[in-house]
Structure 1
């Protein structure tokens, strides 16, 4: 399994709206597109006073990761859907992609 850990540095005062848009709008679209969302939410701690959030996604392979991302982020559903509500709140983001076991992915799932 491939696990993508994406962190977002958010613009001040936007955490609640970002998390709401992510959970209520973006995650359902990601899952409909076949992208496995493991978890997302606000960081429990801020770095140097910045508001931050995260998104964890799992993929079967690096190739699947690349193909599914390209397809999703180029889709009308994303571009005409929650894209602006998400992107407008992001100051910057960073992703790390690592290899993990299915058990590790399951352990990270919330609920």
Structure 2
């Protein structure tokens, strides 16, 4: 579909066509994943939630003594979120659909415990 869109736009906007074709691999990277993942991959909601949480925590402190202090706070938020994702019973991407990503390896993520 990208080639079709690029050809249609290329008649009037040749630079846009060149730009789309140059970025084709990046624009279609999601297609390597199972179809049921596409909607979640295209969403920036988890990233926006993370940024809001970092902002909320940094608003409490207001003034940081140095850049290392900001890095420590952001790292603490990331570690906390990682811990939540490990123990949270519901997964963002199901283990069954993740198993389909690597069918030849024999790795079964739905039986893996961390």
Same-fold status (TM-score > 0.5): no
Bigger proportion of residues as helix: 2
Higher relative contact order (CA 8 A, sep 6+): 1
Q: Which has the larger radius of gyration?
A: 2
Bigger proportion of residues as strand: 1
TM-score, normalised to structure 1, is 0.29
TM-score, normalised to structure 2, is 0.29
